[in-house]
Chains A and B, each alone.
Chain A
Amino acid sequence: MAAPGFQFVTAAYMIRINNQRANTLNELRTGLSQASDGSVFYHTFQSLGRHHFLTEGFSNDFAQWVLTGLNRPQLAERVGGLDIRDYLSLAELRNDLYRVVGEYCDSHPREADMSAFEPFYFCESSEITSPIGPPVTTLGEFVQILEGLSHASLDYHFLISRLRLQLKTNDFSAWLENSMGRQDLARKINRIDIYTNTLDTARDQMIRMIDIGAKQ
């Protein structure tokens, strides 16, 4: 029986502005405990994709606001240092965000109530997806589509999928490992540093890895 093919999908997101906002670190801490899962997702996973072309600064919105809105680089580094690849659920990620911000508030009580230059606005998003073409079944077909894939689709399969499937991997690696029996390639692609690469440079690395892997 032929291995299941890979179905490329494109995704679109509608961003909803919630009524919740934070003006201080303490309010951020409270907000983190009350925000919807969709909001935590939006400000961590999705912010990485939104700003993929910037390889400097912090890739999650909370860290960026702590730096630019509150000028607290030490805390910003800790919040930005939480790697979404380490999490299987938003609850775990939220707990760690809450813990890191909470520890800082407890140890810096005066700073915790200082007003930011601008508030942090909690948002969340809703997703619509649509398949692109028929499933691909060979590495050659896979690379051919991957080469021209939009950032939206690349983001969906490489970054967003980690949470959707509650996997410590991504759609591409999961298919390579489970359907194509290429654990080596799956592992290498999963190790591409999504924080210091743009989506384009990550894609280039994937294609190079598959090209080299196919010859082995």
Chain B
Amino acid sequence: MTATEPEVAGSPLSLDQYIPLLGAEIEELKALAKPLAGREVRMVNSTRVGGGVAEILNRVVPLLEELGMRPGWEVIAGDKDFFEVTKAFHNALHGAPVQLPPNAFDIFRSYNEFNRSRIRLDSEFVVIHDPQPAGLIDGRADKSGHWVWRCHIDLSKPSEEVWNFLEPWVARYDASIFSSPAFARQLPIPQYLFYPSIDPLSDKNRPLDPVYVRSVVERFGIDPERPILTQISRFDRLKDPVGVVRAYRIVKRYFDCQLVLAGGSADDDPEGAEVLKETKQEAGDDPDIHLLELPAASPLEVNALQTASTVVIQKSLREGFGLTVAEALWKKRPVVASAVGGIPVQVIHKQTGLLAHSVEGTAYQIRYLLSHPEIAARLGEQGHAHVREQFLITGNVKRYITLFLLMLNS
């Protein structure tokens, strides 16, 4: 058998290519979007590659264009000092104890001011993603356009210091969007619920030839004949890779399994190398633990690893949403995940996966699934149906269309 490298999707996908998966939903989406034809929307975030937000925007922007809107996507510029501040903000807003860099607030303000001068902000709809560019609202002229703050992170227990700094900007938007009701704050503006999404046709999620899947697994030195436990995540403390290794060690007492921890790095995450080092120390010299540093552009490898997995883990300590969970569910993989952030929205306990609250609980749920493959298969099927209904990119586009229509009508 030979493994042929699947073609990487080159040209942007068109909406019609989703029809075999989603049927009439696509025509209905086009019908809904008609009143928005020709209207301009500008998305702004902090990175073009790496991380869930960039992945979503890479698909949402062309799809909005195909639906007749005039979308644009801007990425704010910043040096290392800015991204160290925004990383600290990110962790602090997630509730982690963080020492802010010196002059953090001044650095944040100055880079937002700098970006206001270089980004066009006069579109009819402006969607600002996450805290990094939140201060761009200062560039809004005379209440013009419709401004939306899209928060992808868990704000349920934020650092008061950082949230109090950001809130005056957030409160000036026309609306905010959160990934779960639990993340919403008491704000004077409407707060809407948008689930993040995955693209079922992307290289990361489309069906792969089993021969190719096996070839990837073997290339990484993983035995395809033994159970594979996988967590796909950046090497980030909030993803708790060390906790995953500890859970694996408990499972290993009962099952001859392997652990794959695979993750890339994002432009705005300077902490990764340090966490990877800690994880390597925890893993020691166990040959069945595979720590894989994947380049940002490794969607086929990620897809293959998820597809080949017996159980997919997402043992986050804090999570905005955790798109890797939806990716695994879409591939009908049974998932064991922490009950944090947006994960319980995706993993309905005992219906679309299993939730856990600790290293021990994670290990127990993995053992349960390895002991009951028929239950694992049912959870995978129901998880797939759940993702189809709630977490596909087309649904995300539909939510933006609906929000824009409501804002126009209001």
Contact = CB atoms under 8 A, between A and B. Distances in A.
B23 A130 contact: no
A33 to B, nearest CB: 20
A57 B389 CA distance: 18
Determine chain B's interface SS by DSSP, over half rule.
Answer: helix
B181 A17 contact: yes
A17 B23 CA distance: 30
B403 interface: yes
B124 to A, nearest CB: 17
B191 A17 contact: yes
A150 B191 CA distance: 27
In which size bucket is the chain A interface? 20 to 34
B192 interface: yes
In which size bucket is the chain B interface? 20 to 34
Interface stretch (A82-90, A92-100, A121-129): A121-129
Contact of B32 (A10, A53, A57, A149): A10
Contacts of B405: 128
Given A16-B190, A17-B178, A19-B186, A150 B406 contact: no
B193 A17 contact: yes
A134 interface: no
A74 interface: no
A50 interface: yes
Interface in B231-287: none
B182 A126 contact: no
B385 A53 contact: yes
B186 A14 contact: no
B184 A130 contact: no
Contacts of B348: 51, 54, 57
Contacts of A56: 351
Interface string A112-126: 000000110101001
A27 to B, nearest CB: 15
B150 interface: no
B399 A14 contact: yes
Interface string B131-155: 0000000000000000000000000
A48 to B, nearest CB: 12
B63 to A, nearest CB: 15
Given A15-B193, A17-B184, A150 B32 contact: no
A171 to B, nearest CB: 16
Contacts of A148: 23-24
B402 interface: yes
A54 B401 CA distance: 27
A50 B352 CA distance: 14
B73 to A, nearest CB: 22
Given A50-B389, A54-B351, A12 B401 contact: yes
Contacts of A51: 348
A165 interface: no
B403 A14 contact: yes
Contacts of A118: 182, 344
Contacts of B344: 118
B218 interface: no
Contact of B402 (A12, A50, A54): A12
B167 to A, nearest CB: 15
Given A14-B406, A15-B192, A126-B406, A53 B389 contact: yes
Given A14-B406, A17-B181, A126-B402, 10 more contacts: A15-B193, A16-B193, A50-B390, A57-B348, A57-B351, A118-B344, A130-B32, A132-B28, A152-B25, A153-B28
13 contacts: A13-B402, A17-B184, A53-B386, A54-B382, A57-B351, A68-B349, A121-B182, A131-B31, A132-B24, A132-B28, A148-B24, A150-B28, A152-B25
Interface of A: 10, 12-17, 19, 21, 50-54, 56-57, 68, 118-119, 121, 123, 126, 128, 130-132, 148-153
Interface of B: 22-25, 27-28, 31-32, 34, 178, 181-182, 184, 186, 190-193, 344, 348-349, 351, 382, 385-386, 389-390, 398-399, 401-403, 405-406
* Cβ-closest 8 pairs across A and B: A121-B181, A10-B28, A53-B385, A15-B193, A12-B402, A150-B25, A17-B184, A130-B31
